[in-house]
């Protein structure tokens, strides 16, 4: 068994102000999403603190009373723990971070941090961190870095102010030229870097044109990408489809990329499943470009599974947005299966049946399922395998007795439907990829003749 290294859990609390313009449903949906995003970053969210206000507190986002309450919770004053909505591991927690469900100003973040005595991350920062971890292509990484620099710039200014006179001191030494302050220098550096990255991206646009070619090249590989909104159940489905719950580590790909695994039980052809960065309901405007760029990698897949949370009242809108963005990045040509997930989470049995019927009527080829039902997962797996087997050929392979050592290769690469033997060797009725079968045939005749 592979050894699983358990990381020390990181604990977080979520805090948010509900403005009068935001209704309860929207507010809760946003909080749920933030908790889900936090989970993606490896945090255990132990509690949520909310407050209704007519506006954000100018100095520290939350009102003074709420700040004290959170401080009490973080420092484990028993007097305050009764306020917590839910407490996990209450006696042994050490809160690592407070996640705020809005983008807040640098000074608000700093004041909140000082008062509560705990690191603060706002919504934008959480999302940036997720994109940063998900961006693999050069274009995506450049795009995410631009967004990060844009977010950091005003915060550096704030840090310089905080550093006092020294931070602002004019200094003409060290090649800094013309007595520029550190802040101005940093600001200029950031501007230059952003310009440089933007140029790189323009240059890469040309490269993107060859993407189609790259996809064709990859066609030998059967790849599926899960796309859809955060919280739709992509990661749950991914684990269920690839058996990674049982397998712990998928040796071949574990080190390369934690978001790519093989469909399990293994099929012919072998199918690779990958998770993609989720759509976000409440995506800060400045992050749209980096989101699209990060998602772009879905283009490489030969099949998309568009996962939709059928129990979310806003699922239709989400479906539209996903379609639109996939079209914008040119992924609308990739074959797609619509998967309406979480049907178990829709009211009672009668409501589920009604909802399912309506979905099937509107989206004839869709899958309606629940990722927590193994039989549903097995059915989806079969549908994926069937998709990739469309291109398989059925044929007969002959393996001379002189090349029997290659027998394993047949079973490893093809589905063997029948096996029989005569004086010369063995015959296999197989189903497999044409290219693979041709290679096996060449190999057999070479070894057999030798």
What are the residues binding ligand GDP (CB under 6 A)?
36, 230-236, 278, 341-342, 344-345, 370-372
CB nearer to Mg ion: give 194 or 319.
Answer: 319
Q: How many residues bind Mg ion (CB under 5 A)?
A: 2
Q: DSSP string covering 183-245, please?
A: HHHHHHHHHHHHHHHHHHHHHHHHHHTTHHHHHHHGGGSEEEEEEEBTTSSHHHHHHHHHTHH
CB nearer to Mg ion: give 235 or 290.
Answer: 235
User: What is the rounded CA–CA span in Å between residue 88 and residue 240?
Assistant: 26
The least distance separating Mg ion from the CB of residue 423, rounded to whole angstroms, comes to 57
Provide the CB-side half-sphere exposure for 380 (13 A, CA): 33
Which of ligand GDP, Mg ion, none does 232 bind, CB closer than 5 to 8 A by kind?
ligand GDP
Which of Mg ion, ligand GDP, none does 302 bind, CB closer than 5 to 8 A by kind?
none
Which of Mg ion, ligand GDP, none does 233 bind, CB closer than 5 to 8 A by kind?
ligand GDP
The least distance separating ligand GDP from the CB of residue 199, rounded to whole angstroms, comes to 34
Q: List 395's β-bridge partners, or say none.
A: 430
The least distance separating Mg ion from the CB of residue 376, rounded to whole angstroms, comes to 18
CB nearer to Mg ion: give 69 or 312.
Answer: 312
Binding mask 164-203 for Mg ion (x = CB under 5 A): ----------------------------------------
Find the binder of Mg ion among 235, 262, 293, 294 (CB under 5 A).
235
The least distance separating ligand GDP from the CB of residue 86, rounded to whole angstroms, comes to 14
Which of ligand GDP, Mg ion, none does 345 bind, CB closer than 5 to 8 A by kind?
ligand GDP
Burial 48-78 (b: 16+ CB within 10 A, else e): bbbbeeeebbeebbbeeebbebbbbbbeeee
User: What is the rounded CA–CA span in Å between residue 97 and residue 113?
Assistant: 9
Q: Which residue has the tokens 């220098």?
A: 185
CB nearer to ligand GDP: give 376 or 433.
Answer: 376
CB nearer to ligand GDP: give 143 or 236.
Answer: 236
- Closest of 49, 45, 47 to residue 10, by C-alpha: 45
The least distance separating ligand GDP from the CB of residue 279, rounded to whole angstroms, comes to 9
CB nearer to ligand GDP: give 60 or 367.
Answer: 367
Which of Mg ion, ligand GDP, none does 371 bind, CB closer than 5 to 8 A by kind?
ligand GDP
3-state secondary structure of 39: helix
CB nearer to ligand GDP: give 310 or 399.
Answer: 310
The least distance separating Mg ion from the CB of residue 410, rounded to whole angstroms, comes to 38
Q: Which residue is nearest to ligand GDP (CB)?
A: 233
Which of ligand GDP, Mg ion, none does 289 bind, CB closer than 5 to 8 A by kind?
none
Residue 213: burial class (beta carbons within 10 Å; 0-12, 13-18, 19+): exposed
User: Is there a contact between 126 and 34 (Cβ–Cβ < 8 Å)?
Assistant: yes
The least distance separating ligand GDP from the CB of residue 240, rounded to whole angstroms, comes to 9
Q: Which residue is nearest to Mg ion (CB)?
A: 235
H/E stretch holding 146: helix 138-162
Strands 222-228 and 95-100, by their bridges, are unpaired
The least distance separating ligand GDP from the CB of residue 384, rounded to whole angstroms, comes to 17
User: Residues 282 to 341: which contact Mg ion by CB under 5 A?
Assistant: none
User: Is there a contact between 342 and 311 (Cβ–Cβ < 8 Å)?
Assistant: yes
Which of ligand GDP, Mg ion, none does 48 bind, CB closer than 5 to 8 A by kind?
none
Residue 251: burial class (beta carbons within 10 Å; 0-12, 13-18, 19+): exposed
Which of Mg ion, ligand GDP, none does 370 bind, CB closer than 5 to 8 A by kind?
ligand GDP
Strands 260-262 and 271-275, by their bridges, are antiparallel
The least distance separating Mg ion from the CB of residue 394, rounded to whole angstroms, comes to 38
The least distance separating ligand GDP from the CB of residue 346, rounded to whole angstroms, comes to 9
User: Is there a contact between 244 and 4 (Cβ–Cβ < 8 Å)?
Assistant: no
- List of residues 6+ apart from 261 with CB closer than 8 A: 238, 242, 244, 250, 253, 272, 273, 274
**Token code pair at residue 450:** 């030798």
| 48 binds Mg ion per the rule CB under 5 A | no
User: Is there a contact between 64 and 262 (Cβ–Cβ < 8 Å)?
Assistant: no
Residue 432: burial class (beta carbons within 10 Å; 0-12, 13-18, 19+): buried
CB nearer to Mg ion: give 345 or 360.
Answer: 345
Binding site for Mg ion (CB under 5 A): 234-235
């Amino acid at each position: 068994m592979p050894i699983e290294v358990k990381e020390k859990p990181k604990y977080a609390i979520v805090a948010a102000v509900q403005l009068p313009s935001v209704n309860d449903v929207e507010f809760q949906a946003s909080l749920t999403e933030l908790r889900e995003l936090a989970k993606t970053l490896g945090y255990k969210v132990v509690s949520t603190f909310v407050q209704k206000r007519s506006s954000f507190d100018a100095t520290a986002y939350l009102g003074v009373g709420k700040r004290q309450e959170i401080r009490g919770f973080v420092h484990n004053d028993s007097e305050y723990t009764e306020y917590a909505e839910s407490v996990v591991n209450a006696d042994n927690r050490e809160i690592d971070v407070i996640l705020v469900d809005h983008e807040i100003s640098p000074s608000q973040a700093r004041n909140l941090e000082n008062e509560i005595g705990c690191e603060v991350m706002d919504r934008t920062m959480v999302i940036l961190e997720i994109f940063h971890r998900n961006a693999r292509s050069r274009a995506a990484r450049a795009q995410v870095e631009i967004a990060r620099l844009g977010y950091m710039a005003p915060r550096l200014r704030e840090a310089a102010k905080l550093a006092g006179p020294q931070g602002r001191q004019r200094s003409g030494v060290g090649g800094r030229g013309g007595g520029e302050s550190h802040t101005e220098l940093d600001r200029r550096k950031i501007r230059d870097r952003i310009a440089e990255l933007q140029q790189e991206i323009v240059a890469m646009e040309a490269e993107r044109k060859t993407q189609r070619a790259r996809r064709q090249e990859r066609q030998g590989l059967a790849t599926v990408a899960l796309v859809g909104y955060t919280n739709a159940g992509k990661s749950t489905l991914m684990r269920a489809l690839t058996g990674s719950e049982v397998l712990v580590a998928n040796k071949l790909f574990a080190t390369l990329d934690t978001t790519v695994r093989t469909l399990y039980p293994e099929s012919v052809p072998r199918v690779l499943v990958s998770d993609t960065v989720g759509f976000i309901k409440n995506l800060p405007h400045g992050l749209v470009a980096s989101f699209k760029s990060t998602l772009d990698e879905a283009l490489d897949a030969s099949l998309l599974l568009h996962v939709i949370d059928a129990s979310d009242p806003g699922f239709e809108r989400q479906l539209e947005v996903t379609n639109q963005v996939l079209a914008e990045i040119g992924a609308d040509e990739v074959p797609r299966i619509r998967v309406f997930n979480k049907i178990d989470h829709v009211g009672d049995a009668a409501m589920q049946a009604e909802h399912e019927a309506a979905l099937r009527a509107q989206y004839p080829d869709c899958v309606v399922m629940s990722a927590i039902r193994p039989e549903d997962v097995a059915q989806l797996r079969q549908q994926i395998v069937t998709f990739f087997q469309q291109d398989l050929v059925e044929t007969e392979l002959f393996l001379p007795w002189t090349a029997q050592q290659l027998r394993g290769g047949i079973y490893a690469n093809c589905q063997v439907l029948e096996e029989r033997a005569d004086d010369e060797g063995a015959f296999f009725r197989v189903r497999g990829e044409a290219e693979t079968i041709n290679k096996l045939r060449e190999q057999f005749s070479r070894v057999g003749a030798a």
